[in-house]
Structure 1
Amino acid sequence: MNQIIIGSLILSVLHALIPSHWLPFVTIGKTERWSESRTLMVTGLAGLAHTVSTTILGLIVGMAGYQLSENYHELAESVIPAVLLMLGLWYLMQHLRHQHSHEHIDAQKQKGKSFSTLLLSLCIGMFLSPCMEINAYFLSAGALGWQALSLVALIYNVITLAGMLLMVTLASRGLRLVNAHWFEHNENLITGCTLIGLAVLNFFIEF
């Protein structure tokens, strides 16, 4: 249970910090001359759409994990590191091919729309691009029951939304704590290395 909680916490923090989860909202907010409160409101609603779609997909995956545990208990214990490893290698391949898998929102395409149209398009765009990495933890949590599954969902939703709002606030106020361009260019590399590291920890270490 502890490794599931720690892993889901790390991935949630990582994805909240990735610029594609917050930088477009800062860019659009400045272009549309929104107040900070309106920018945060839009970020919160679009971020909620994103976490809800990820949670829905995660709960479906978690049910599969429950069935797997019921029938193949020992196999279920090895699923999470295997899934994390495969995902990690896939993201490393995407980095080598110079493709960005986290471009949820194209800020340039959103400019000039009315507020209601803009808000709707941002929410739909985020809803239709759930994060796949966390599903390995939903799968493993499902094998432990609904309590663990609910805990992973809670951690992901709270940490991701809080992180997105925090980064939008910091960026809107002009704080440059990270090199966003470097982070965005190397996000697949960072995600891949993180997933592989978590796979190794889950395989060799019991928390």
Structure 2
Amino acid sequence: MTPTDLQQPILLSVLGAGLATAFLHAALPTHWLPFVLVGRAQRWSLAQVMSAVVTAGLAHIVTTAVVGSLIVMAGLALDRWIAGVLPWISAGLLFAFGTFYVVRAVVRGPVLAGGPPMDMAEPSVSHRAAFIGLVATLAISPGEVLLPFYLSQATQGFAILAALTVVFAIGTVAGMAAFTALARAGYSVLRLERWARYEGAALGLSLILIGILVASHHH
């Protein structure tokens, strides 16, 4: 069995974990609730809402990919000075990020009800301004929980990093669309926010597992 044969299951596991992490990250109310509220206020059709969701989700991943690329370049530059240290740094960061999200999920209180009212008000801004505002909200911030994945695969080449970006885009857009559609269809916002409460713990555990996977692979 060649080294490539050994690495393929590891890469597939990383891509699968990246897809799941991106989908779970989209459970955060900031990734779907504004689209529901603005869509109702603007009286948008489902197609109009989903157009904003897809555009904002892709913009969010573009920003994440740019920041991730900068992290990769910095990590590779460091690896030239300290040979072999990059996998351990990436594993440590994954473990640290994961521990942070698990601890935060444990210590913070439950999500409370009483979010913004979902009434049908007259549109107060133009449809174009509302659309741009929704997209910009996610475009200006990278998905911080996705960034360690880039560093963990920094030495695997451009194709793997590109595959990670595609996987992140699929997971993020699918998650945002799913939760937006559920809320728009009339499911309890409180129920979805309860789910979002456990999103941090799920993300943290997945990041810790990936960190262990990366460390064991380079042991």
In 1, Cα distance between equivalents of 2:69 and 2:110: 28
Q: Secondary structure at the match of 2:84?
A: helix
Give 1:103's aligned residue: none
Equivalent of residue 139 in structure 2, options 123, 127, 132: 127
Instruction: Tell me how large the CA RMSD over aligned residues is.
Output: 3.0
Deviation at 1:80, TM superposition (A): 2.3
Give 1:162's aligned residue: 174
Q: 1:39-50 alignment to 2 at 5 Å?
A: 39-50=49-60
Give 1:138's aligned residue: 150
Amino acid at match of 1:137: F
Distance 1:98 1:49, change over 3 A: farther
Distance 1:70 1:147, change over 3 A: farther
Deviation at 1:131, TM superposition (A): 0.8
Deviation at 1:2, TM superposition (A): 3.4
Give 1:81's aligned residue: 91
- 2:102 touches 2:200 (CA, 8 Å); kept in 1? yes
Unaligned stretches of 5+ residues in structure 1 = 101-105
Equivalent of residue 198 in structure 1, options 198, 204, 210: 210
In 2, Cα distance between equivalents of 1:154 and 1:57: 15
Equivalent of residue 63 in structure 2, options 53, 59, 62: 53
State the identity %. Answer: 26
Distance 1:185 1:140, change over 3 A: closer
Amino acid at match of 2:47: S
- 1:64 touches 1:139 (CA, 8 Å); kept in 2? no
In 1, Cα distance between equivalents of 2:109 and 2:63: 26
Provide Cα deviations, 1:91-132, integer angstroms capped at 9, x if missing partner: 2343325599xxxxx978xx8333222222222211122111
In 2, Cα distance between equivalents of 1:5 and 1:66: 21
Unaligned stretches of 5+ residues in structure 2 = 1-10, 118-122
In 1, Cα distance between equivalents of 2:152 and 2:108: 30
Deviates more, 1:111-120 or 1:79-88: 111-120
Provide Cα deviations, 1:4-28, integer angstroms capped at 9, x if missing partner: 3233222122223333312321222
Q: May I ask how many residue pairs the two structures share in their alignment? A: 199
Deviation at 1:70, TM superposition (A): 4.1
Deviation at 1:58, TM superposition (A): 1.0
Which structure's CA Rg is the greater one? 2
Amino acid at match of 1:90: F
Distance 1:203 1:3, change over 3 A: farther
Give 2:35's aligned residue: 25
Provide Cα deviations, 1:169-206, integer angstroms capped at 9, x if missing partner: 33323456x93121233433333233223323433468
Q: Secondary structure at the match of 1:74?
A: coil
- 2:25 touches 2:199 (CA, 8 Å); kept in 1? no
- 1:22 touches 1:167 (CA, 8 Å); kept in 2? yes
Q: Secondary structure at the match of 1:150?
A: helix
Amino acid at match of 2:199: E
Give 1:189's aligned residue: 201
Distance 1:140 1:197, change over 3 A: closer
Give 2:161's aligned residue: 149
Distance 1:146 1:170, change over 3 A: same
